[in-house]
Amino acid sequence: MLFSTLGLCEELLKAIAEQGYARPSAIQVTAIPAVLSGRDVMAAAQTGTGKTAAFVLPVLQGLMNKAPCDSKQVRVLIITPTRELAAQVALSVERYSQYLPVRSCAAFGGIRIDSQIEKLRSKVDVLTATPGRLLDLFDRQALDFTEIEVVVFDEADRMLELGFSKEIQRIHSLLPMVRQTLMFSATFSTAIKTLAKGMLNNPQLIELAGLNKTVDAVKQVIHPVDKSRKSELLIHLLKTHRWPQVLVFSRTKEGADRLVIQLEQAGITSAAIHANRSQHARTLVLDGFRNGTVKVLVATDIASRGIDISQLPCVINVDLPYVAEDYVHRIGRTGRAGAAGIAISLFSDDETKQLVAIERAIGRKFSLERIPGFMPSKKAVLKGEDDEDEYGNFEADAKPRRKGRANARKNHRNR
C-alpha cells in the first residue's frame, strides 16, 4: 500500500515524502480514507503507530479550496491532554501543511497567553490546544467556536486520566452541532465509550482487530544478540526449552539451509522449506514435521504460507522480516485455537528499522529480554538500554513523548 493510493493531494504527498515515510502505517491505511469520507471516527491507536498523521493528513486535505478563516475563528480544533503532545502535534501540522496555504498554531499553558491571543487574531485555520488553555482563550473572547468544522480529541483516555472530563464536556457544549468529530484513544475503555456516546455521531470504529487479535494470543519475546551469534543462541534456546516442535523463520533461503546444517551438527533434527525446494521435497519435509521425526522446521516467509500445522508451541524468528505484516503471519503460526504459544525473535542491531515498523504495525512496544552469556556487544543495541522507558519497555522513537508524559504526570494539569 502506498500513500498515493489513499486519495491525498500532491502537496501532502510531497510533504510526506520529505518526512521519509515510505508506506502508510496500519492505522493510516484505515483512518485516512475514513476521515476523508467526512464521517466521525473513533480509533484505538497508541503512540508510535503513526496516529498523528492518520488524522492530520486527511484533516488538512479537507481544508483545500476553503476560504481563509476570519479573525479569532478556526476551522480545525485539535485537543490534546498535555503541553508536550500539543507542541508535537502542532509541529506535525506545520510539517505536513508546508505546501498548503494553511495557517496553524498551538496554545497551551506555560507560554504567555498574549502571544497566542495575537496569533489567533491574525487568522488561523488549525489550532492545537490543551483543554485548560483553550477554555481560557474562549473566556477571554480571543476565540470563537462558530466556524469549527472538525474537532479532534487526541489521546482521549489520557484526558480522562488527567481529570479533564469537565473541561471536555464544556468544550463539547460550545461546539457547533454540525461538525466532524474524531476521537483517538489508546483503548476503548467503558469510560471512553461513555464519553464518546454524546459527542460522536454514528462513528466509524477503527481497532485494527485482525492484527491485534493474533498478536494478543501469543506471548512475544525479543532477545537482543549479536548477529554473528544468532545460530548459537538458537541452539541454546532449543536445547534449554526442549519444545516438542519449533518453527524457525529465516529471511533468506541460504540462511535457512545454513541453519539446518548448524542444527544438525548440534544434534537437532531439522529440515528447511523454501522456494528452491521441489514440491515433492517440501511435502516430505512437512510430513516429517507433522509426524515428529523433524523437530525443527526452518522456513522462509513465502514457503511458510502453505504450512497448516495447528498448535505449534513455539515460533522463533532468527531474523526480523522486512514487512511488518509478515511478522504477524509468522507469529500467527503459534497460539492457534486458543492454545498458548510463544514467539521469540532474535534481534540484532541492524534490525532496528524492522523492529520499529513491527511495533508501529501492531501498535505496541516490545521489551527486550537479554540472555546471560549472549549479551550483545554492539553499541546500537546497547543504545536500546538508554531508551528504556519507565516501564522497562524498549522505546525506539517515542522517548521524548514518554518523558513528556512523566512530566505531565508531575505537573498533573496544564493550562
Interface residues with ligand AMP (CB under 6 A)?
21, 23-25, 28, 47-53, 397
Provide the β-strand partners of residue 394.
388
Q: Which residues pair with 41 in a beta bridge?
A: 182, 204
Q: How far is the CB of 75 from ligand AMP (least distance, A)?
A: 21
**Which of 59, 66, 73 shows the shortest CA–CA distance to 120?**
73
**Which residues have a Cβ under 8 Å from the Cβ of 35 and sit 6 or more positions away?**
41, 54, 55, 58, 59, 62, 180, 182
Contacting residues for 101 by C-beta, under 8 A, at least 6 apart: 68
Rg for the chain, CA atoms, rounded: 25
Q: Which of 239, 305, 248, 242 is nearest to 271 (CA)?
A: 248
- At its nearest, how many Å lie between ligand AMP and the CB of residue 23? 6
> CB of residue 168 vs ligand AMP: minimum separation in angstroms?
21
Which residue, 48 or 335, is less far from ligand AMP as judged by CB?
48
**Residue from 143, 146, 141, 114 nearest 128 by CA:** 143
For ligand AMP, the closer CB: 24 or 384: 24
Work out how close the CB of 381 gets to ligand AMP at its nearest, in angstroms, rounded to a whole number: 21
Nearer to ligand AMP, 28 or 180 (CB): 28
Provide the Cα torsion 296, 300, 301, 304; round to 10°. -50
Q: Pick between residue 45 and residue 273 the one whose CB is nearest to ligand AMP.
A: 45
The number of residues in the chain equals 415
Beta strands (DSSP E) in 68-179 are 76-79, 104-107, 126-129, 150-153
Of 136 and 359, the one with the shorter C-beta distance to ligand AMP is 359
Contact of 326 with 354, CB cutoff 8 Å: no
Identify the sign of the CA torsion 231, 237, 240, 242: negative
Which of residues 184 and 243 has its CB atom nearest to ligand AMP in the complex?
Answer: 184
**Between 6 and 102, whose beta carbon lies closer to ligand AMP?**
6
Nearer to ligand AMP, 24 or 341 (CB): 24
H/E element holding 176? none
Phi and psi at 144, nearest 5°, equal -120, 130
In this complex, which beta carbon is closest to ligand AMP, that of residue 130 or of residue 304? 130
Rounded Cα distance between 130 and 241, Å, is 51
Shortest Å, Cβ 225 to ligand AMP: 26
Q: How far is the CB of 154 from ligand AMP (least distance, A)?
A: 9
The residue (of 255 and 363) whose beta carbon lies closer to ligand AMP is 363
Which residues are CB-neighbours of 225 under 8 A, at least 6 positions away? 233, 346, 347, 348, 371, 374, 376
CB-based contact 44:156 (threshold 8 Å): no
Question: Is 352 in a helix, a strand, or coil?
Answer: helix
Q: Rounded CA gap, 46 and 206, in Å?
A: 12
